Amino acid sequence: MALCRLCQQTDESVRHIVSACPKQVRTKYTQRHNDVAKYIHWNMLKERGVAVPKHWWKHKPDVSTIINGEVTITWDLKMVTDRALEHNRP
């Protein structure tokens, strides 16, 4: 098996490309994560009767959405924790 064409650090495999290549950590993996989160956010609002675009990929989440004064759905907010965390966003 040949070395990964992107990072040149380990054997190139489907598993490596999809989840372990350090060259993709801050770009493609983050984008994939954000796209999944955007779909979930869009769907939660849609199910609760909030006006959203027809297609989830055109959805631009607001930082906070309050529905009927009862439900608050947030997007990309730092979470306050009792200790320092490297990753503190949902």
Looking at per-residue pLDDT, the higher value among 35 and 83 belongs to 35
**pLDDT surpassing 70 at residue 90:** no
Q: What is the pTM of this model?
A: 0.69
Q: Which pLDDT score is estimated for 52?
A: 93
DSSP code at position 4:
P
**pLDDT surpassing 90 at residue 8:** yes
Reported residue count of the chain is 90
Q: Which pLDDT score is estimated for 89?
A: 60
Mean of pLDDT over the chain: 86
Q: Which pLDDT score is estimated for 57?
A: 94
Cα gap 56→48, rounded to integer Å: 15
